[in-house]
Structure 1
Amino acid sequence: MTAFDNLMAFQRDTSALGQIAGRLGWDQETMMPRGAAGQRGLEMAAIESVLHARKSDPRVGEWLEAAQAPDAVGSAQLREIRRAYERAQKVPADLAKKLAQVTSVAQGKWAQARADEDVATFLPVLEEVVALKREEGEALANGGDVYDALVEDYEPHTTSDDIAAIFDAMRPRLVALRAAVLERPKLKGVEGEFDENAQMKLSRHLAKTFGYDMSKGRVDKAVHPFSSGSGSDVRITTRTSLTDPFNCFYSTIHEVGHAAYEQGIDPSFELTPLGRGVSMGVHESQSRIYENQLGRSRAFTGWLFEQMKNAFGDFGLDTADEFYAAVNRVQNGCIRTEADEVQYNLHIMLRFDLERAIMSGDLQVAEIESAWNDRFKADFGYAVDKPSNGVLQDVHWSVGYMGYFPTYSLGNVYAGCLYEALREAVPNLDDQLAQGDTSGATGWLRKNLQHHGSLFAPRDVIEQASGKTPGPDALLGYVERKFGEIYGL
């Protein structure tokens, strides 16, 4: 076997172990007994120790020195392995193990604190997570910006200054649109209670409608919806609300976007560095375009309106137009995952600024709740009513995902570019969506983006698919046109 062959065989085993670690995380959020949290932390630490040892194994460096790529795909494999190896070499093994253990425990403490509306019980472990992530960032940054080093994990070749520049361009137009919309009369919403078993049944139907292969996946419930896995085992979760079925349905469609990306990758890349989404920004472009540009379109909501009438009977909306407006209505609310397209990115900007300040040391963990509440009041004009609607609503910080949040908005920006190209490529898109047929849209996305996995750099794959350099104008134009029409601006 050549050095390249040895390296790829070693990498496939490492990737398989990573999938096992991911399955432990999936179980922790869906089925694990609450009392098992401590032991699970030790299990996660043990497997992370093995993974870190493999990722930083000196043989990987030797194989990389000697390996000759057989083709362009092989060159991309070496690029991704080298990047991971160099990063793993910078992080001490004990730190990687400690992070896995602490974040596993912290996730359970966050869930309990969220249920109890008790920030104080979560802050000590969050303090520990932040200290460990800062230590990791310092090791990776090698004298550079700590937060940039963490962002690199989720969006390679992007800095916090790059992100801030995009946000600065977006904020004024979003704030102006929000102000104009909120001056208009409020739109009707759904009424009544919605059986949670019926919600899950329709949720699974929606997953299949958007191309999710249930023979290689499953839909479960979790506190915070997520997608997990790659290749032939990609699982999603959603959540239900007795009075808000859209929470369930659009969480499901969102996570299906993530899962469809993983399921759509070239099967020959399975268990290799190319066999996963190239970045979280690109990943979010799929979840957001599935959820918003497709799932909340006038055409698709007309079909969904009929599905909901069949499942729930009368729920207070009489026409497909009323239903479309209800799905997209802009209203006050604290929860990011329930936010409309006008306000969603404002939620992300708040989190981006706060976590950047936390990682730089400008904001202390003990101050995070008051900082969140003050910033929210300034940005949205009303107060957070309880911690589960404020600083405790998201799982990300508890599991150490510092640097993840801005990728949601990058995903929206990428989705705006992709949607323009998609509409041009599939001229009868609305006719298809009105019949509940997403195959034209999802097939185009699979062919032009998902199939490539990590073969190309994040912005390159968006530019190839959309035919343009990624920027916020396409997204902002789409949002302004859509909500201008809905609200008669």
Structure 2
Amino acid sequence: MSAYDELMAFQRQTEALGQIAGRLGWDQETMMPEGAAGQRAEEFAAMESVLHARKTHPQIGEWLAKIDASTLDPVSAANVRHISRSFERSQRVPAKLAEAIAKLSSSAQRIWADAREKEDVAAFLPALEEMIALKRDEASALAQGGDAYDALLDDYEPDTSGEDVAATFAAMRPRLVALRDKVMGAEQPPELKFEFDEQKQMRLARSLAKTFGYDMQKGRLDKAVHPFSSGSGDDVRITTRTALTDPFNSIYSTIHETGHATYEQNIASEHLLTPLGGGVSLGVHESQSRIYENQLGRSRAFTGWLFGQMKDAFGDFGVANEDVFFRTVNRLNKGYIRTESDEVQYNLHIMLRFDLERDVIAGKLEARDLEEAWNSRFEADFGYGVDKPSNGLLQDVHWSCGLWGYFPTYALGNVYAGCLYEALRVARPNLDSELAVGNVAGATGWLKDAVQVHGGLYRPTELIERASGLVPSEGPLLSYLEKKFG
């Protein structure tokens, strides 16, 4: 075997172990008995110890040194690029620190969920303080004198920086606020006043997942506190949640997570259990989930079809016709929850979190300051105060499980989705007529060929530019939103 072949055989086992670790996380959020939390934290730590040892194994460096990059084809070169990057970054983080973060991320999720249910920020603060201390240590180790927040962001969106993100957000904010104020000043459709059977919601959710191309033979849909997608290749699982009086929570969480899941399911099979076998970045991943959820799932054409599906499932639920249903689906709300936010205000939620977590990693904010800082910023941005912790600091799971630097990728995903949608409209001139009969295969097929099949082959912005023909920028997204809501 060549050095490259030996490296890839070793890496395949590492990728497989990573998938097992992911399955532990899925189980924890869906089916694990509550009393198993302590043991699961130990299991996570043990798995992270094994993975860290493999990612930093000296033999990787020896194999990399023997590989002649000039002889590699594009796929092999991309694999080597990913492995080299992982090897370099993993070596910077002490094994004990990596284990401690993995262990705490497991136990802290349970603490967060309990605190959220009881509206008790104080019960969460010790775990949050410990996580912040560990993530600052990790950021310092990764940055090696550079910007600490950038070092964390690089885990999720390579080749960008906090300054890049801040500049994008500064360009987006004025137009988003102006559009929000204009629409909120107009008459809004009434809220739904109906109770939607939750078993029927789950049946509809499964049907919609299949409509958007999710392969149930290689996946499953369950309920969780915070919807997510987990896994890759031949085992990709999604979750959703239901609310008795809000079916859109389940519908659009499901479509969103289906976007993530089909991305993983549609990656070329030859990339399975290699560094190219997953989405190339969280921003690109989010572009798939957001374009499925919003540009396709909330469009006038698709909601016209969905209205019929809703009537079949629930009977008359108090919405007069397809036009009213479209406006109801896209209603702007004075709400608090990011995952339930309308398209216009969603990115404002991300900007809030981005600024707060940058200040935390920089040492300008401590855990004990976060609730007040969150509430003050929210009122300044949205014009009304947070009414309870589960609608504020405790609403998201990310900080409890160590995902610092993750939030900006949600907004970058919207930016990428705006570019892709502009290209999709050109590629599929009959898109609206297809969506009007519930046929999303043309759109999702185009996304599969343009984005998903490549996995990690290209760099994030390179992939979006190849797919859309556009250098990624906020312009197409803002134009789409202003045309739809203006």
Q: What's the TM-score, normalizing by structure 1?
A: 0.98
Which residue identity lines up with residue 177 of structure 2 in the other structure?
Answer: V
Query: Out of 105, 108, 128, which is 1:106 matched to?
Result: 108
2:395 corresponds to which of 393, 415, 426 = 393
State the one-letter code of the partner of 2:461. Answer: R
Instruction: Report the residue type matching 1:145 in the other structure.
Output: D
Equivalent residues in 2 for 1:468-487, closer than 5 Å: 468-484=470-486
Which one-letter code corresponds to 1:191 in the other structure? K
Residues 108-143 of structure 1: per-residue CA shift (max 9 Å, x gap): 100000011100000100100110011000000000
Q: Which residue of structure 2 lines up, in the alignment, with residue 194 of structure 1?
A: 196
Once residues 62 and 230 of structure 2 are traced to their aligned partners in structure 1, the CA distance between those partners, rounded to angstroms, is 32
Q: Report the Cα distance in structure 2 between the residues aligned to 1:315 and 1:383, rounded to whole angstroms.
A: 31
Unaligned runs of 5+ in 1: 485-489
Cross-structure match for 2:353:
351
Match of 1:371 among 370, 373, 391: 373
The correspondence of residues 229-268 of structure 1 with structure 2, limited to 5 A, is 229-268=231-270
Q: Give the whole-Å Cα distance in 1 for the aligned partners of 2:181 and 2:100.
A: 46
1:384 pairs with 2:386: yes
* Aligned-pair CA distance for 1:67: 2.0
The alpha-carbon deviation at position 189 of structure 1 amounts to 2.8
| Percentage of identical aligned residues | 67
Q: Distance in 2 between matches of 1:191 and 1:293?
A: 26
Q: Secondary structure at the match of 2:252?
A: helix
Q: Which of 209, 212, 216 in structure 2 is aligned with 1:210?
A: 212
Equivalent residue number for residue 409 of structure 1: 411
In 1, Cα distance between equivalents of 2:282 and 2:208: 23
Structure 1 position 414, deviation (Å): 0.3
Query: Which secondary structure state, in structure 1, belongs to the residue aligned with residue 236 of structure 2?
Result: strand
Which residue number corresponds to residue 5 of structure 1?
A: 5
> What is aligned with 2:29?
29
Q: Which amino acid aligns with 2:7?
A: L
Structure 1 letter corresponding to 2:58: P
Aligned-residue CA RMSD in angstroms?
0.6
C-alpha offsets along residues 454-479 of structure 1, whole Å, 9 cap, x if unaligned? 00000000000000100001000000
* Separation in 2, partners of 1:208, 1:331: 29
Give the conservation status (yes or no) of the 8 Å contact 1:170–1:476: yes
Cα distance, 1:247 vs structure 2: 0.3
Match of 2:289 in 1: 287
TM-score by length of 2: 0.99
Secondary structure class of the residue paired with 2:298: coil
Match of 2:159 in 1: 157
The SS at the match of 1:236 is: strand
Q: Distance in 2 between matches of 1:348 and 1:152?
A: 17
Q: Distance in 1 between matches of 2:409 and 2:266?
A: 21
The 1-side partners of 2:379 and 2:190 are apart by 25
Letter in 2 for 1:446: K
Query: Which moved further from structure 2: 63-72 or 136-145?
Result: 63-72
Letter in 1 for 2:423: A
- Show the counterpart of 2:422: 420
In the alignment, the residues of structure 1 paired with residue 128 and residue 369 of structure 2 have an alpha-carbon distance, to the nearest angstrom, of: 12
Q: Distance in 2 between matches of 1:310 and 1:188?
A: 21
CA drift of 1:71 comes to 1.2
CA displacement 1:64-113 (0-9 Å, x = unmatched): 11124541110010000000000001000010011100111001100000
Deviation of 1:187 after TM superposition, in Å, equals: 1.2
What amino acid sits opposite 1:462 in the alignment? I
Within a 5 Å distance, the mapping from 1:289-368 to structure 2 comes to 289-368=291-370
- Code of the aligned partner of 2:23: R
SS in 1 for 2:344: coil
Residue 168 (1) aligns with residue 170 (2): yes
Q: Which amino acid aligns with 1:38?
A: G
Tell me which amino acid in the other structure corresponds to 1:441: A
Tell me how far apart the structure 2 counterparts of residues 147 and 70 of structure 1 sit (CA, whole Å). Answer: 34
Name the amino acid aligned to 1:113. A
Q: 1:185: how far off?
A: 1.1
Deviation at 1:191, TM superposition (A): 1.9
State how far apart, in whole Å, the 2-side matches of 1:277 and 1:90 are. Answer: 24
- Cα deviations by residue, 1:429-450 (Å, 9 ceiling, x for unpaired): 0111111110000000000100
Amino acid paired to 2:260: H
* AA partner of residue 110 (structure 1): W
1:445 maps to which of 435, 439, 447 = 447
Q: How many residues align structurally? A: 484
Q: Distance in 2 between matches of 1:316 and 1:350?
A: 35
* Superposition deviation, residue 316 in structure 1: 1.1
What is the CA–CA distance in structure 1 between the aligned matches of 2:49 and 2:136, rounded to whole Å? 19
Post-superposition offset of 1:35: 1.0
CA contact (8 A) 1:188 1:322 kept: no
Does the 8 Å CA contact 1:45/1:101 hold for their aligned counterparts? Answer: yes
Matches of 1:236 and 1:398 in 2, distance apart? 20
1:219 and 1:190 map into 2 onto residues whose CA distance is 25
Q: For 2:171 and 2:56, locate their aligned partners in 1 and report how far apart those are by CA, in whole Å.
A: 40
Deviation at 1:321, TM superposition (A): 0.3
SS at match of 2:195: coil
Runs of at least 5 residues in structure 2 that lack an aligned partner in the other structure: none
**1:487 alignment counterpart:** none
Task: Name 1:436's counterpart in structure 2.
Answer: 438
Letter in 2 for 1:74: S
Q: Which amino acid aligns with 1:12?
A: R
The amino acid of 2:52's aligned partner reads H
Whether contact under 8 Å (1:189, 1:316) holds in the other structure is no
Instruction: Determine if the alignment matches structure 1 residue 223 to structure 2 residue 225.
Output: yes
Alpha carbons 1:189, 1:317 under 8 Å: kept: no
